Each structure stands twice: as structure tokens, then as C-alpha cells.
Amino acid sequence: MENNRTPILELKDVKTYFRVPRGVLKAVNGVSLTIYKGETVGLVGESGCGKSTLGKTIMRLYRPDEGQVLFEGKDIWSYRKKEKKEYTKNVQMIFQDPYACLDPLSVVSDIVAEGMKIHKMYSKAELENRVLELLGMVGLNRDHASRFPHEFSGGQRQRIGIARALSLEPKLIVCDEPISALDVSIQAQVVNLLKRLQKEMGLSYLFVTHDLSMVRQISNRIAVMYLGSLVEIADSEDIYSKNYHPYTRALLSAIPIADPAVERERKRILLQGDVPSPVNLPEGCNFCNRCPYAGEECRKKKPELRQMEPGHLVACHRAGKI
Amino acid sequence: MENKKILEVRDLVVSFDTFQGSVQAVRGVSWYLNRKETIAIVGESGCGKTVTIQTVVGLNPKKNGSVKGGEVLFEGKNLLDLTPKQMRKVQGNQLSIIFQDPFTYLNPTMTVGEQIMEPYLQHHAVSREEARQKAIEILKLISLPSPEENMKRYPHQLSGGMRQRIMIAMALICSPRIVFADEPTTALDVTIQAQIIELMNSLKEKIDTSIVLITHDMGVVANMADRIYVMYAGQIVEHGDSDTVFHRPKHPYTWGLLNSVPRLDKKVADDLYSIPGTPPDLIEPPKGCAFAARCPYAMNICRTSQPPRIEFEEKEHYASCWLNHPECIRRRGPVRREGASDGK
């Protein structure tokens, strides 16, 4: 399994900066990550850590200041016109807010059909059948096709967004917090749907979220991001059982467990303060001002990702010693 | 253990008149709150939990929302009988509320210091300087760094966690008897959420207040609540103390809610349990049990008659479900909850 995986998307030291009045906002600050075919990578971090910017950099919406984004081996910024169009078909996005991402003036069938029309994928007659087929795949039916977005609940809207993403038969879908606006029981429905579709169509997902407990249900590997850099990458289960980075540990320990008896016994690592501003980053490790283990070295030198075990990367000077 | 009821809601019925018909948002809800206690009202969006507390604190618009019955007893008075002027003396003073989204509820054109002082100036005959001192005191209590500095700032200059602390400070400055917290942590990151939960739990002791928590996050409930009311389609379907509801739930909706939460301390199941379908339309609520259409254990009787409230051996534990009725002979469904793989 390990050897015959083919990468679909490779990020090589990607840096996406924004110029703001106070200086340079380093939203994504040197991220390297590979997503393989048929795999789900969970990208986890708090708000403002740059995870959505990274998602949009992959979507070719932001041009990275440095580094490369390779899709099936080719740099997406070296594309010619035709390839560019092809790329917008191969990579799709599912958005966070199911209320904001659907055109309120279009009916569902038009929303789902729009991409296919642009790419001239079907004739008019075929198109209608295809829309109904897609709606069926995500658990909606014929009656829903002629309704407007406001007639649906949050979970149903998210399904419309998923149908729209699937319509172009993409190879990779960037899911930007697809479930955080939904109720718990509906979240489970959407996650199960995404898992089923992946099995049927061999999709790859980048699942961007701040919810460490839900992302575990769908991801093969998880990357933890803090202030623009990845701090830990590992197989999904290893993040929960054999984690090394103090930030990963704090993040896990902050998640409440739905059981009062367990909670009473649990010791919690409470992080002090908020995430610092990404405009003026600390010189050493980004996490050092909130880290309970930070030492002299951490304040001076930025740690690089290094391998602790096969496939398990950690960016921490003190990993393994704490 | 002092068990003094300070707030009691009895058979509250609230509906909203719309063009389609009247939406029966709250259909006969009763609950109470003891001193220094935290209760949680749990349920999905649209189950009526927010409408319930908005009615209690008198925030329900009179225009098309109307209280059709019931009473809200606070210190011997029925709050629903008070005139708006009398009610304003209670609001923000003895009863206060923390809203879900701190950014929309703070005034963007006022410094946060002004906003924290406002309720105190409103309810007490004090000078601005005294109010300022009080605000600083309360900000120190909730451990906001450099309170004097931060009071001069505007909401957009603060982070989400700090804004939520400002909301909490506004709610606490008059030392209220009861704080209503409507999804106080859903808009926050997990690490900040953990800080806020810790803070709210410690405040209960520090300033002698009771908390009514409204949320759909069972993890937050497990950390804060003494007792739990589970609400579905405008009714309370189960009540009990926290341990009972989490470990010996009796209503299929509670099973569903608990099972659809992925747990970090359990193995990953193949498929997450999810409650099928969506909540019923409250313009025409179903004749029988409101949950029957989504319930994997529904019987014939569930679709025709409302289930009665059935009490269990634990103190004040009850659930409204026909499965628990003594005449239900072939009882189906999980006896005990076991991870996320139960259910169907």
C-alpha cells in the first residue's frame, strides 16, 4: 500500500503572504504536504492558522509567493489556458457556509448544472438526467431540483454544494469546514455521505477543519497547522495515540468528551492566551509563547519538520523528550 | 446541599403566527433551576430551546410571537405578567444572557468598556468612575489581560475569545442571579472553548449565580451541567441529572444525540451513527410522538398518541417515550449505550 501510492497533489514549501499596512502577513509560511490518490488528508488548526488560505492556494485562487503546487506532477502556475480550465474541473471545493455559497436567485438544478454547462460536458437532454442523478447521489430527489436554496435546511444545502462539486467529476475536493455550520446529527450524515462517495468514485479529499473529533472519522492522515506552518503530520490514529507536538496534545485535550464521568477524571492542558498575530511572528518556534515546555532553543531557532517514525513528522525541538 | 428553586417554568407554550399558519415553537415546557446550579437544555437547531429562554428573559417580540400559556416564576413573581417597564428592571440586572455570536451582539461603534459599564449605569445610581472601577474589577475576575487598556478598544480590535469574555463581563457586572448562556462556545476554537468553560464553571462559585446553558454540543454539557433537559420539537423529552442522562438514557432521541457525537476516547466506527431525517414541521406537529418518524424503534402507538411522561428509579429522571411504558412488552433498542456503533 505504502509504495504504490501515486501523489495527486504536492505542495512544496508553499508560502502565501499578504501585504497589510503593518507589514507582511505570513498566512501560509512554508508548507510541504503530499496528497495521494483516493486518500483523505485532514488539515486541522484554529481560526487564523492559515488553513483556509492554504485551501484557496490549492484552488489556484491565491498565487503562492514562493514554492510550488504540483497537480499530477505539473506546477499549476505553469498552465496554459486550456490546462487552466481543465484544472478547475479536476479540483473542486465544498464551502463552509451553506447559506452563503449558493446563489439565492437560482434554482437547485441550475446551481448544479452551471459547471457542466461551462465545461460543455453534456447535451441539453443528457444534462437534465445528469443533474437528477447527482441529486440522487447526495440524497436529494426530483422535487428538490426546481426549488430555491432558501427552501432547504443547512444539511440539505450542504448536500447541494456537494452535488455541485461532484458534477464535474473532480479528482480532488477541497472541503473547507464543510460541517462546522451544521448540527451534530446532521454532521454525521454529511461525513457518512462524503465517505460513501469517496469509496464509489475514488476521490481524494483535503478536509480542512478545526474539529479534531470529526476529522478522525474520515481522514487517513492528519496534518496539524499552527500559524502558517505544519507542526505535525501522521496517520490519523497516530495523531490521537502517539502524538509528539505539545500543540497537538493541547488541541486534543481541549476537546470535551461527551461523558461526565470521564471528564471528571480528565486532566486538561489549558493553553494560555490567544494565537499571536501572523504579522509579526516570533523569531523561534511559532508556538513558544504558549508552550509549557518552551526552552532556550525554542525561542531562537524555528524547528523544521523531522521524522519521528516512518510517516510521522513533527516540528518541535523537544519532541520525544517531553 | 441547598435545593432552593430560584426559577421555575411551568407549561410554557409559545407560537409564532406566520402566513402559513402558527409555528408552535414551544409546546408545553416545564423546568426549574436551583441556586448555584447549572442546567443544560440540549437539542438540535429549531427545537425551541432559544425561544424558551428568550421568552423567559422577555426578549420575545410581541408582534408576531406570543406566549399562549404557562408561567415563569422568578422569586415568587410571574415574569410573564410584568409590564415592559418592570421587566427592564429585571433584564440585565437579575437575569442576564450571553449570546452565541459575540461579534454580532457587540456594538461596533462603542468601546467595549462603555458597553460593559452600560448595564451597571442603567441599574444602579452610580457615577461613571464607580462604574469604570466595577468594570475593571469584573474584567480582572474573568482574567482578561490588561483590563484598563482593553476597555478603550473597539470590538473589531479583539479576538473571538476576548469578545466572548467581554460578553460574559457585560452579563456579570450586575451580579445576576441567573445567567442564560445561549451556545456560548460554538463560535470559538476548541482551545478558547476550554478556557471559557473553565471560566464559567469557576464563576458559579465566585459570584453565587446559576447558569442555564443552551447547546447542542454534548461535550460542553458533560463539562458544565448538573442536570440536563433534552428538548425535541418544542417539548422536553427527557430529564435527569448529568450522569443519568449520559449513562442510562431512556429516550431514543437521547441515544441518537449521544451516539452521533464522535468520541476521542473510543475507537473509530466504520460509519458514524446519524439520526435519519430532519425534525418535523412545527406548523402542523405530528399527532403522536414528534420523534416517531425518525425513530428506529417506533411502534404503532407512537404514531397515534402522545407518549406520557414516565418516571424512573433515579431521582427525577423521566422520559416521554412509549418504549418505557409498562404495557410495552417487546421492548427494543439498546439497553445501554456502547460507543458510536449502536443504533440500527
DSSP calls for B292-344 = GGG-TT--HHHHHSPPPEEE-SSTT-EEE-GGGSTT--S--S-SS--TTS---
Element (H, E) at B71: strand B65-74
Q: What is the pLDDT of residues A160-191, one digit of tens each?
A: 999 999 999 999 999 998 888 787 778 888 89
End-to-end CA distance of chain A: 32
- Nearest alpha carbon to residue B138 among B160, B112, B161: B112
B109 and chain A in contact, CB less than 8 A: no
* CATH dotted code for B5-225: 3.40.50.300
**Is residue B204 exposed (0-12), middle (13-18) or buried (19+ Cβ within 10 Å)?**
middle
- pLDDT profile of chain B (344 residues), mean per 10: 80 89 91 93 88 88 74 90 88 90 86 94 93 92 84 88 88 92 84 86 86 90 94 94 92 89 77 81 90 90 92 89 84 52 35
What are the boundaries of each domain within chain B? Answer: 5-225, 231-324
What confidence score (pLDDT) does residue B64 get?
Answer: 62
A153, A213, A217: residue with CB nearest B278: A153
Q: Model-level pTM? A: 0.83
Q: What is the DSSP string of B137-170?
A: HHHHHTT-SSHHHHHTS-GGGS-HHHHHHHHHHH
Pairwise CB contact (< 8 Å): A256 & B275: no
- State mean pLDDT over A15-34: 91
Query: Contact A185/B274, CB-based, under 8 Å?
Result: yes
Under 8 Å between Cβ of B318 and B238: yes
Determine the average pLDDT of the residues in A123-133: 93
Give Rg (Cα) of chain A.
21
Higher pLDDT, residue B50 or A2: B50
Residue of higher predicted confidence among A272 and A88: A88
Instruction: At B88, list the grid cell.
Output: 427592564
pLDDT the model gives residue A141 = 86
Angle at A42 between CA A41 and CA A48, to 5 degrees: 130
Which residues of chain A lie closer than 8 angstroms to B278, CB-CB?
153, 155-156, 186
By the 8 A CB rule, do B310 and B325 touch?
A: yes
Q: Does B110 touch chain A (CB under 8 A)?
A: no
φ, ψ (nearest 5 deg) of residue B203: -65, -35
Which residue shows C-alpha cell 451582539? B105
- Over 50: is that where the pLDDT of A216 sits? yes
Domain boundaries, chain A: 7-314
Q: What ipTM, to 2 d.p.?
A: 0.76
The pLDDT value given to residue B338: 44
User: What is the CATH code for A7-314?
Assistant: 3.40.50.300
Phi, psi at residue B266, to the nearest 5°?
-120, 160
pLDDT exceeds cutoff 90 at A67: yes
pLDDT of residue B343: 35
Mean residue pLDDT across chain A: 89
Percent of chain A with pLDDT over 90: 57
CA distance B139 to B165: 8
| Mean per-residue pLDDT, A285-293 | 88
pLDDT of B339 = 42
**A1 has pLDDT over 60:** no
